[in-house]
């Protein structure tokens, strides 16, 4: 009998895409920011400095630049925005990752992608990573979260994206699994906090400091198995060693605070 084998506490894995399934150092996010600013310069004729300010301001106040533009009544179609912002990203920096593919295939859970990006970008990144879209049960993306923005007689300009609770609710509903048995992996502390607020189990990816809302912290997908073997129904390799060490430390500490008895007593 394998005493290291446990049943996995997770039925479903919910993966963010950008800076989660590939490392943050590839320059994609930086290029995306530059493209957003250039979009503001070209479309609205603002100066470069103003564009940088607006991008940051819209992100802070509305969650994204597109959300800010639509909320303020600007006539921008999501497809126009995404094709400009994602159209010239350095996708060539994303290299095939057969180890990640194998890792994903080895997980017994249903896998769902949950990204704020549009579907075209998600497909392009998966293609560059060499990962079949079919590995994921479904891709929850900008279009899934915002079907109203693609209707001709639409009156709502609200953009639903992580970290809004509405976005996480959509993901939980589509995943169809108990949030307490769903593991949500994302590189954004804000997204992780939103997931935790709705009962998801959470993994903060690629950061050095674990936040209160993160149940786990991993450097990247490459050390997922070492850090969260529970996904595969396994115990942490050094868990027993740690428990033994902790009990020795506790015994020593207890011994040190026990009153000593004198020989004469
Ligand atoms: Mg991300």
* Tens-place pLDDT, residues 206-232: 999 999 999 999 999 999 999 999 999
What's the 49 CA to ligand 1 centre distance in angstroms? Answer: 25
Residue 209 DSSP class:
S
What are the residues whose beta carbon lies below 5 Å from ligand 1 (ion)? 16, 18-19, 187
What's the 184 CA to ligand 1 centre distance in angstroms? Answer: 12
Q: How confident is the model over 110-133, as pLDDT tens digits?
A: 999 999 999 999 999 999 999 999
The domain made up of 1-24+96-265 has a fold known as Rossmann fold (3.40.50)
Identify the pLDDT of residue 256: 40
Q: Cβ–Cβ contacts within 10 Å for residue 196, how many?
A: 19
What's the 20 CA to ligand 1 centre distance in angstroms? Answer: 6
Q: How confident is the model over 79-116, as pLDDT tens digits?
A: 999 999 999 899 999 999 999 999 999 999 999 999 99
Q: How far apart are CA 30 and CA 23, in angstroms?
A: 13
Q: How confident is the model over 143-194, as pLDDT tens digits?
A: 999 999 999 887 788 999 999 999 999 999 999 999 999 999 999 999 999 9
What's the 117 CA to ligand 1 centre distance in angstroms? Answer: 9
Q: What is the CATH number of domain 28-89?
A: 1.10.150.450
Identify the pLDDT of residue 152: 84
What's the 48 CA to ligand 1 centre distance in angstroms? Answer: 25
What's the 176 CA to ligand 1 centre distance in angstroms? Answer: 22
User: Strand, helix or coil at 236?
Assistant: coil
Backbone angles phi, psi at 257, to 5 degrees: -100, -5
Identify the pLDDT of residue 6: 65
What's the 258 CA to ligand 1 centre distance in angstroms? Answer: 51
What's the 84 CA to ligand 1 centre distance in angstroms? Answer: 19
Identify the pLDDT of residue 153: 81
What's the 130 CA to ligand 1 centre distance in angstroms? Answer: 19
Identify the pLDDT of residue 265: 33
What's the 234 CA to ligand 1 centre distance in angstroms? Answer: 27
What's the 162 CA to ligand 1 centre distance in angstroms? Answer: 10
- Going from N- to C-terminal start, the domains of the chain cover 1-24+96-265, 28-89
Q: How confident is the model over 237-250, as pLDDT tens digits?
A: 765 544 444 443 34
What's the 171 CA to ligand 1 centre distance in angstroms? Answer: 15
Question: For a pLDDT cut of 70, what percent of the chain falls above it?
Answer: 87
Q: How confident is the model over 14-46, as pLDDT tens digits?
A: 999 999 999 999 999 999 999 999 999 999 999
Identify the pLDDT of residue 5: 60
């Amino acid at each position: 009998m394998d005493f290291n084998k446990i049943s996995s506490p997770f039925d479903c894995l919910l993966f963010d895409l950008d800076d989660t399934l590939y490392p943050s150092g590839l320059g994609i996010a930086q290029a995306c920011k530059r493209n957003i600013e250039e979009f503001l310069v070209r479309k609205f004729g603002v100066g470069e400095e103003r564009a940088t300010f607006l991008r940051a301001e819209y992100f802070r106040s509305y969650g994204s630049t597109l959300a800010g533009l639509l909320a303020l009544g600007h006539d921008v179609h999501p497809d126009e925005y995404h094709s400009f912002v994602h159209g010239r990203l350095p996708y060539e920096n994303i290299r095939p990752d057969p180890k990640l593919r194998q890792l994903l295939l080895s997980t017994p859970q249903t896998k769902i992608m949950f990204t704020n990006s549009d579907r075209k970008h998600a497909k392009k990144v998966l293609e560059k990573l060499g990962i079949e879209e079919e590995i994921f049960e479904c891709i929850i993306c900008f279009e899934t979260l915002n079907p109203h923005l693609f209707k001709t007689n639409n009156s709502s300009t609200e953009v639903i994206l992580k970290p809004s609770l509405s976005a996480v609710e959509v993901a939980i509903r589509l995943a169809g699994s108990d949030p307490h048995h769903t593991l949500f992996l994302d590189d954004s502390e804000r997204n992780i906090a939103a997931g935790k607020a709705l009962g998801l189990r959470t993994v903060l990816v690629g950061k050095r400091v674990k936040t209160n809302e993160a149940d786990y912290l991993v450097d990247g997908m490459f050390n997922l198995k070492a850090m969260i073997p529970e996904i595969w129904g396994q115990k942490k390799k050094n868990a027993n060693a740690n428990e033994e060490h902790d009990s020795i430390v506790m015994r020593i500490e207890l011994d040190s605070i026990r009153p000593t008895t004198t020989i004469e007593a």
